[in-house]
Amino acid sequence: MNPDRGGTPRLCFVVSSPMTAEAFLAGHVRALADRFDVHLIVNSDPAAITHPDLARATIHRVRIERAISPLEDLQGLAQLYRIMRRERFSAVHSVTPKAGLLTAIAAFLARVPLRFHTFTGQVWATRRGVGRTLLKALDAVIARLNTHLFVDSASQRAFLKHEGVLAPSQGIVLGHGSVCGVDADRFTPDAAARAAVRSELGIPDSALVYLFVGRLTHDKGVLELASAFSAVARDREDSFLVLVGPDEDKLEPQIREACADAETRLRFVAWSNAPERYMAAADVFCLPSHREGFGSTIIEAAAAGLPAIGSRIYGVTDAIDDGATGLLFERGDVAGLSAAMRTLADAPDVRAAMGVAARSRALRDFSKASITAALVAFYTAALAATGAAKTLTDHDLNR
């Protein structure tokens, strides 16, 4: 198991972004640090990682860029290999594609006994041609070089098996899905936050607020959301659209143009480390994404008591119980999206009932505690069972 000198197995998470570490790994690190020597490799100065739970891990900086950059990628691969040879980890666990590929190669070459990766959605799912073929092949490399593979939703696992990336026996979904579950103490209905955020944004208490939280990119469907909101706003003068997240594709001008007749009812928040405040202030959550591994923001919004409208794609279909906790529409269908937005606008009783059902389902099926407990159980079994750990299934983990 390659334990350290004190006999404690060493586990190492690898991600490219500190945001990923804070959003997905903090709770896991806190729980695992009680029984394992936990390390974190991330593209950040260790001193800049201030989350108290991540502070329980030994942090190493490695240049892992999201964009393809052959020279820097080779340098990052070499750094990863050196760290893994020096630290003699019992297991490494990567999250996100670039970190996954470099970690899979480095850990395989360094002979790390247990190599884990979590698939959280495929960039190539919406692409065509050579780009799709190449990116899909890289995911296949990740699958071949790791000893165990996690997937954050059952529908994504089915997609990866259909595409031949995963073998029929591969793919572990913890609990009902997601990378880390939802913190119901953080994401919860909050009347005080609702009033405060609406005051900050200049939105009346009586207004109907649609909310998007995430990166503003084409793949997230924000341009379709803008067009759909524009159509709804013509009939609903009390409606507002709030978009929270970095504008990575520089889409704000196009969003404003699409909503020219209702531009005064748009609100942009470039970044927030407290998305729960905006969820508490909203009435309907919207995720019109073209691709998602699971849609964690949907269950966070659900825990805050919001019904959701989402694309009928793998990942999102796990997060929304169509007709019960929200509504699904066909990806890219602006008319379908606007119809769903109107449905929830015109039926406040239905909207409220869906919000109650969404929160109940989030707490029951996607609690942070249950997902972390399943991961700790998996690690414990895998480290104890050596080769036998490769036969673990979802049933073993969740019974």
Helices (H), the chain: 18-20, 26-32, 70-87, 97-109, 129-145, 154-162, 191-201, 222-235, 252-258, 275-281, 296-303, 316-319, 334-346, 348-365, 368-385, 394-398
* Count of beta carbons in the 10 Å neighbourhood of residue 390: 12
Q: Which residues pair with 208 in a beta bridge?
A: 239
Q: Which amino acid is at 106?
A: A
| Amino acid 6: pLDDT | 54
Write phi, then psi, for 91 (nearest 5 degrees): -155, 150
pTM for the whole structure? 0.90
Domains, the chain, in order of start with CATH, read: 10-181+367-393 (3.40.50.2000), 191-365 (3.40.50.2000)
| Residue ranges, the chain, pLDDT below 50 | 1, 4-5, 387-399
| Amino acid 389: pLDDT | 37
In angstroms, the CA 243 to CA 245 distance is 7
Given a contact cutoff of 8 angstroms between Cβ atoms, the answer to whether 200 and 228 are in contact is no
Between the alpha carbon of residue 380 and those of residues 26, 151, 363, 373, the distances in Å are 18, 19, 25, 11
Note the pLDDT tens digit of each residue in 248-277: 999 999 999 999 999 999 999 998 889 999
Within 8 A by CB and 6+ apart from 96, the residues are 15, 16, 17, 20, 66, 120
Between the alpha carbon of residue 126 and those of residues 31, 129, 292, 331, 333, the distances in Å are 36, 11, 10, 11, 15
| Amino acid 273: pLDDT | 85
Note the pLDDT tens digit of each residue in 47-99: 888 899 999 999 999 999 877 788 899 999 999 999 999 999 999 999 999 99
Task: Kindly write down the DSSP assignment for every residue of 265-333, as one continuous string.
Answer: GEEEE---S-HHHHHHH-SEEEE--S--SS-HHHHHHHHTT--EEEESSTTHHHH--BTTTEEEE-TT-
